[in-house]
Amino acid sequence: MNPKHTLILGIETSCDETAAAVVKDGCHILSNLVSSQVELHARYGGVVPEIASRHHLSMINPLIEEALKEAGLEFKDLQALAVSHGPGLVGALLVGVATAKALAYALRLPLIAVNHLEAHLYANHLGAEKINYPAVNLIVSGGHTELLLIEEPGKTISLGHTRDDAAGEAFDKVARVLELGYPGGPLIDKLAREGNPSAVDLPRAWLDQDSRFDFSFSGLKTAVINHLQRARRRNEEVNPPDLAASFQEALIDVLVEKTIAAARTCRARAVLLSGGVAANSHLRLRMRERLLKALPEVALHFPPPELCTDNAAMIAAAAYPRYLKGEFAPLDLNAHPGLALLS
Ligand code: KG4
Ligand code: ZN
């Protein structure tokens, strides 16, 4: 490998995916492995932190070995190690942080601490597309819903966030009441394709002018629960695809319109989607259609579905600018479960 290239090994264990990846120069993926724990948690209807930590512990070393092998590299070829140190589940994060610290010490390599949310944003850099700034970024994951203005790389301003449930959380909770399984997002995405999005009238929380870039999804979730309970009381049939499609439509309406309003207000040149919910086929489609109509000069970028959900390539990508600036973490780095995006 050309020594002028920067090879970073990324490690991700913040929730229920154990992941290791090697990325060259912040944008070329050489390997990207994810060991999903979905089946382990599905029977409990959500992530069980203790089970997540134990699985990370047994998977992380073999996964790192495999990531290097797939990239055709050895430890000695690496320039740095990057790890997600928050936000997330503390016991889960600690597995990745301890592994990265041990490797950094043993291999005498710099350690780079990455904010998991910031890394979701960097998933958009793992492609050939050039991004023009200023850009508006919608991060929609299981734990967060954030609308950001990126004036230029590294200069980010928060425009708004959710007041209650995150978008992914709303998908997961509604899937649970519809008894679809876990995680709910992909299941609702699939079921909604067979349903009528106008079948059930559900609320959209636009909020007042001062909070126009904030979100609230708990009212929508309650409306779905009320609809189901009312139908049960009256002995009426519920059509799950119709209800799933109507819920998805209501949530996506709000995400799309607020993102477009933000792009217009900030005179953005690009809109970026990231986080697990950005894998949603209807969100991708609707955002493209509406943007083309409302702001045709604004480019839309979203990562392929496997880079929207948790992965380690995005961790290595986010570490690259830090590597160039020499922003390294000390070996007493700790996990920060509540780490904010703009801290
Ligand atoms: O970013 P992510 O993998 O993990 C967190 O950092 O939270 O996001 C996981 C969330 C889950 O709530 C999951 O249901 C949702 O992303 N999700 C989706 C889809 N794929 C994953 N939501 C809607 N449609 C999808 N296709
Ligand atoms: Zn995530």
Q: What is the pLDDT of residues 275-327, one digit of tens each?
A: 999 999 999 999 999 999 999 999 999 999 999 999 999 999 999 999 999 99
Q: How far apart, in whole angstroms, are the C-alpha atoms of residue 111 and residue 318?
A: 13
Distance (Å, whole) CA 172 – CA 180: 9
Confidence of residue 127 (pLDDT cuts 50, 70, 90): confident
Cα–Cα distance measured from residue 267 to residue 311, given in angstroms and rounded to the nearest whole number: 31
Q: Residue 119: nearest ligand to its CA?
A: 2
Pocket of ligand 1 (CB under 6 A): 15, 141-143, 168, 171-172, 183-186, 189, 275-277, 279-280, 309-310
Mean pLDDT, the chain, as a whole number? 95
Closest CA to 125 of 262, 284, 301: 301
The residue whose CB lies within 8 Å of the most ligand 1 atoms, and thus the one to mutate among 137, 221, 277, is 277
Q: Residue 126 in 3-state DSSP?
A: coil
Which residues are in the CB-under-5-Å shell of ion ligand 2?
Answer: 141, 310
What share of residues in the chain are helix, strand, coil (percent, to 5)?
45, 20, 35
Q: What distance lies between CA 321 and its chain's CA centroid?
A: 20
Quote the radius of gyration of the chain (alpha carbons, Å). Answer: 20
User: Given this model, what pLDDT does residue 343 score?
Assistant: 63
Residue of higher predicted confidence among 39 and 246: 246
Using CA atoms, how far apart are residues 199 and 239, in angstroms rounded to an integer?
Answer: 9
The gap between the terminal CA atoms of the chain, to the nearest Å, is: 36
**Ligand 1, pocket-test mutation among 137, 171, 217, most atoms within 8 A of CB:** 171
Which atom of ligand 1 is nearest the CA belonging to 171?
14
- pLDDT band for 46, please (50, 70, 90 cuts): confident
Separation CA 63–CA 73 (nearest Å): 14
pLDDT of 53: 94
List own/partner pairs for 185-188 with CB under 8 A and 24 or more apart: 185/276, 185/277, 185/279, 185/280, 186/279, 188/244, 188/247, 188/248
Given a contact cutoff of 8 angstroms between Cβ atoms, the answer to whether 290 and 261 are in contact is no
- pLDDT tier, 341 (very low <50, low <70, confident <90, very high otherwise): confident
Per-residue pLDDT tens for 58-106?
A: 999 999 999 999 999 999 999 999 999 999 999 999 999 999 999 999 9
Tell me how far the alpha carbon of residue 47 lies from the centroid of ligand 1, in angstroms: 13
**Residue scoring higher pLDDT (208 or 250):** 250
Q: Is residue 232 pLDDT above 70, yes or no? A: yes
The more confidently predicted of residues 128 and 161 is: 161
- Indicate if the alpha-carbon torsion angle 190, 191, 194, 199 is positive or negative: negative
Instruction: Provide the β-strand partners of residue 18.
Output: 35
Supply the pTM of this predicted model: 0.95
Residue of the CA atom closest to atom 16 of ligand 1: 276
- pLDDT at residue number 121: 93
Burial 68-90 (b: 16+ CB within 10 A, else e): beebebeeeebebbbbbbbbbbb
In the beta sheet, which residues pair with residue 271? 136, 300
Q: Determine what percent of the chain is predicted with pLDDT higher than 70.
A: 99
Which pLDDT band, with edges at 50, 70 and 90, does 3 fall under?
low
- Atom 22 of ligand 1, residue of closest alpha carbon: 185
In sequence order, the β-bridge partners of residue 149 are 136, 157
Of the candidate ranges 18-27, 125-134, 159-168, 222-231, the one whose mean pLDDT is the lowest:
125-134
Does pLDDT of 236 surpass 80? yes
In this predicted model, what pLDDT tens digit does every residue of 171-212 receive, in sequence order? 999 999 999 998 899 999 999 999 999 999 999 999 998 899
Joined tokens for residue 261: 């309003």
Nearest ligand to the CA atom of 175: 1
Residue with the nearest Cα to atom 7 of ligand 1?
142
pLDDT for the residue 105: 98
Q: Has residue 221 got a pLDDT over 80?
A: yes
- pLDDT for residue 342: 79
Report the separation in Å between the CA atom of 141 and the middle of ligand 1, taken as the mean of its atom positions. Answer: 5
